[in-house]
Amino acid sequence: MEEVDLSDEMSYDNIIVYSVLYSSVTVVFAMAVLSKFLTNEFRFGFRSVLSLVVLFLGEPLCQFLVKGPGGVVTFALGCLFVYSILPASHLPVGNKAVLITGCDSGFGHALVQKLSSIGMVVFAGCLDSMGPGAVELRNKCTQNVHILQLDVTNKKDIAAVKEYVRGHVAEEGLWGIVNNSGVWYFAELEMTSEKVVQRVMDINLFGAINVTKSLLPLVRQAKGRIVNVSSLLGRIAMEGNGAYSMSKYALVAYTDTLRQEMKKWGVIVSIIEPTGFFTGNMSEQVIKSRKQEIWDTMDEESRETYGKDYLDNIYSHILNSTQRYPRDLTPVIRCMRSSLLSKRPRERYPCGTGADLMMNVYPLLPIWLADSVSSAIGILPKIYKPALLSNQQ
């Protein structure tokens, strides 16, 4: 009688069992990731690349390096971890209502249209409720969009908006606030007057604080969301952006503090941190008016030091550089929507090309290297020199 090697049979059976287990984990993980793509909750990026790496390389690596039941467990845990960092599914829209500031153009304008298209009730605060941006929203959006006059530096406007919103949301409260209003000036700190710094702070920082404080009881009532729009420059300082960075750094600190304080009320606070995009602040008309305002408010000593040609050359360079900024605002709008509706919203949403890398790597760099990186990616041209420096040379 032929002798059967039981060890070979057991080895073969083990291979079959492990293959089935690995295949089962792979199929479940692949279907879970695919479902997020199909529901537009997940787009191509770092996390999608990581998912593909785990999907195609995870199994052979675990089989080769770990082997046995430990390999299967390691692979399953790896898939589970990657899935946990993927965007969560969204809450149903229902009759959720959101207030958005700065809707005349840019991110706010685009977000109103997006949220209107999915059925949300939107209170769109515009600096000019009869301006072209507001008129376009009235023409394009459904009746669930309410256009409101809102200058975030005007306390009477804020109070009027609060009463209007309160009268429309009833007992359900206000689901979300998106503090999007912002203004940007480009000028070196020595050139920037106190008046300009105060204006930037009033809009970018105190506007968000005052709107939030006024409407916070309605958000608390709904256990909703607060979303503040900062910038890459809220964590990375660059030449010429001093006043703007100061306001956004402060906004980040305000958001981080508010996030911790609101947890006990069930209110979630997030911050959006875009890189450079072409918005209303980058239009030719706005840039020229900001340049004139900088010059008009400079003191005489600063004018003599830098000269009008220096300022003109810088702003000419800025105008010529606006083409490099993407006009597709979809990455930012997607993050804003996720911060409002995701079941597991993130605390921070870096968005735009290289945003995640910059936000994570930049703080780890030595200061001299960080300064070099900031200088390299900034928009202040090095070929122009202030009048006083040119005269000395």
Residues labelled as active-site residues = 244
For residues 165 and 86, the answer to whether their CB atoms sit within 8 Å is no
In the chain, what is the straight-line distance between the N-terminal and C-terminal CA atoms, in Å?
103
Report residue 120: phi and psi, to 5°.
Answer: -80, 150
| Alpha-carbon Rg for the chain in angstroms | 26
For residues 107 and 329, the answer to whether their CB atoms sit within 8 Å is yes
The dihedral region occupied by 170, where left means phi > 0, alpha psi between -120 and 50, and beta the remainder, is: left
* Side-by-side strand order, sheet with 176-179: 145-149, 121-126, 97-100, 176-179, 225-229, 268-274, 348-351
> H/E/C letters for each residue in 366-391?
CHHHHHHHHHHHCCCCCCCCCHHHHH
Contacts of 78 (CB under 8 A, 6+ apart): 54, 58, 62
3-state secondary structure of 283: coil
Name the nearest CA neighbour of 101 among 198, 214, 194.
Answer: 214
Measured distance CA(33)–CA(41) in Å, rounded: 10
Residue 4 C-beta-side C-alpha neighbours within 13 Å: 3
Contacts of 89-94 spanning 24+ positions with Cβ under 8 A: 89/36, 89/39, 89/41, 89/342, 89/343, 90/41, 90/337, 90/338, 90/341, 90/342, 90/343, 91/341, 91/342, 91/343, 93/118, 93/119, 93/120, 93/341
Measured distance CA(131)–CA(104) in Å, rounded: 8
Residue 380 C-beta-side C-alpha neighbours within 13 Å: 19
